[in-house]
Structure formats: structure tokens, C-alpha cells
Amino acid sequence: MTSEPPAQALFDQALIEEATRKSGLIWVRGAGAPAARPLWHVWHEGAALVVGDGAGEQPLPGLTDGGAAEVAVRGKDKGGRLVTWRATVHRLEAGSPEWEGAVAELKGKRLNAPDSEEIPARWARDCAVLRLVPTGAVEPQPTGSLAEPPLPTPATTRVPAPAALPRLLARRRGRN
């Protein structure tokens, strides 16, 4: 049995932390989830913190039951994958000191909240606050296409514009 050299373990830990801290969005695939989902997060005390599965918050499929997850971190400059790491998922109990610290960090980064003063109470009542703790080494970069079919949605695509529309608009501009 060979163990990973300490230098490589420290490098992997630093890479995971720095890349995740600087990225505003991570792609997370929970156990049993059909596809990875983009999640906003905050890096705090050695783990990525996410909140969701409640009214007005992001969905967390396959994460709220704990277990494991795969996290892919993108770069801010080009948006390409920088690093992929495995995580253990821990749900924080509302009102615990660890939960209070996590919510303080998350609240400061939550954009466009309709009830910014009531966020902690709403999150305690309706949402899950999770810690995604890295398990160690980074995953090797994938080869080949990672394209997946889009998730089901009620949205539709626009139909093509009628061929006569440009002429009608030009005529209307000519009258003014």
C-alpha cells in the first residue's frame, strides 16, 4: 500500500481551496442525481457552504441526505473546468454554532434576497444549509465530451419570425 506524498496532498488541498474560493459557481452532482447542478456557494473554514431546497433558493438534488458528492470548479477567466474534487456532505443543524457561522457567511453573499433581514429565520425553517468538505485528492481531468442532455423545463424556444415581418417594420418606420 502506497500513501500519497505529503507535498502532493498539500498541493491538492491548496488547489481545491483556492479554485473554489475564487469561483462564484460550482457544479455539484449529489449521490443519485441525474446531472451536476450549478450552485452558488461560499468557501468557509475548509469547506464549500451551500443553501437551498427551500422557498426561493436553489435546488439541491441528491445532496440533502448527506453522503458524497462530486464538485467541479470552473475558472473565472474562461469558465473552463479547473479542478474536480470529491466531497462529503454534512447538513448543519439549525441553531448550532456551526450553522450560525455558516449562515453569517452565506447571508453576506446572498444576492437579490427578497427578505434580507429575515434570511436566517427562513433558512432555519425552510432550507438546508450544507457543508461540502473535500475528501482529499483532486480527480483526474476528464477526457472526451461531458455534454449531457438538458434538464426538463417548461420553457419553450421562440418560433421563427414571419418572413414578411422585416418589410412590415420598415414600412412602419417610413410613416413616422
Dump pLDDT digits (tens) for 88-130: 999 999 999 999 999 999 998 888 887 878 999 999 999 999 9
DSSP conformational letter for 57: S
Q: Which amino acid is at 62?
A: G
Grid coordinates of 163: 418572413
| Confidence at residue 15, expressed as pLDDT on a 0 to 100 scale | 92
Model pLDDT, residue 150: 79
d(CA 90, CA 169): 58
Model confidence pLDDT, tens digit, residues 59-97: 998 898 888 999 999 987 887 888 999 999 999 999 999
Q: Report the alpha-carbon angle 37-43-44, nearest 5.
A: 135
- How long, in residues, is the chain? 176
Q: Within 13 Å, how many C-alpha atoms sit on residue 134's CB side?
A: 27
C-alpha span between 110 and 123 (Å, rounded) = 12
- pLDDT tens per residue, range 135-169: 987 888 888 887 778 778 888 877 887 888 888 88
Q: What residue spans of the chain are helical by DSSP H?
A: 6-22, 97-109, 119-126, 165-175
The most distant pair of C-alpha atoms in the chain lies apart, rounded to whole Å, by 83
Q: What is the CA radius of gyration of the chain?
A: 21
Q: What confidence tier does 3 reach under pLDDT thresholds 50, 70, 90?
A: low
State the cell numbers at 5: 506524498
The domain locations on the chain are: 6-142
What's the whole-model pTM score? 0.78
- At 77 the pLDDT is 80
Q: Is residue 41 predicted with pLDDT exceeding 60?
A: yes
Find residue 168's DSSP bridge partners.
none
In sequence order, which residues have a C-beta less than 8 Å from that of residue 119 and are 6 or more positions away? Answer: 103, 107, 110, 113
The CATH number given to 6-142 is: 2.30.110.10
